[in-house]
Amino acid sequence: MAEMISLSINGVSIRVPAGTMVAAAVLIAGETMFRRSVSGEARGPLCGMGVCFECRVTIDEAPHCRSCQIICRDGMKVRTG
């Protein structure tokens, strides 16, 4: 069994296996809307490889992080929207 780590997604704490990407953790937490587009549409990951920037979230207060390229760390605080 992989080691489990905890992080919070929009204030809700979840546990995921170590090595999980932040984008996967956000979807595991049941959130589908990662960001709002300039005209207010809900958006989520598209390319899964770091080029489209649709999966951007705020991680530990740093805005515009590409969640498909960042691995979850224990205690991380992720915000969508």
Partner 1 sequence: MTEARRTVDILVVGAGPAGMAAAVRARESGRGVLVLDDNPAPGGQIWRGGQEHSPSARASSWFAKMAASGAQVIAGARIVDGDAKRQCLTVEMPDSAFEVSYDKLILATGARELFLPFPGWTIPGVMGVGGLQALVKSGLPVTGKRIVVAGSGPLLLAAAAYFRAHGAIVPIVAEQAPVSRLAPFASRLAKHPGKLFQAAALRLALHRSRYRSSCWAIRASETERLESVQLQQHNRVWLEPCEYLAVAYGFISNVELAVLMQCQTGAAGVRVNDLQETSQNQIYCAGECTGIGGVDLSIIEGEIAGYAASGRDDLAGNLFKKRDKARQFAAALESAFALRDELRSLADAGTIICRCEDVTRERLEPMRSWRSAKLQTRCGMGPCQGRICGPILEFLLGLHPESVRPPVFPARVETLLRQEEETRPT
Ligand X SMILES: Cc1cc2nc3c(=O)[nH]c(=O)nc-3n(C[C@H](O)[C@H](O)[C@H](O)COP(=O)(O)OP(=O)(O)OC[C@H]3O[C@@H](n4cnc5c(N)ncnc54)[C@H](O)[C@@H]3O)c2cc1C
- For residue 69, count other CB atoms closer than 10 A to its CB: 14
Tokens of 54: 């649709």
Which one of ligand FES, ligand X, partner 1, none is in contact with 64 (Cβ closer than 5 to 8 A by kind)?
Answer: partner 1
Give the C-alpha separation, 5 to 54, whole Å.
25
The answer to whether 20 touches 9, Cβ cutoff 8 Å, is: no
| Residues contributing to the site for ligand X (CB under 6 A) | 48-49
Q: What is the nearest approach in angstroms of partner 1 to the Cβ of residue 34? A: 7
Binding mask 12-51 for ligand FES (x = CB under 6 A): ---------------------------------xxxx-xx
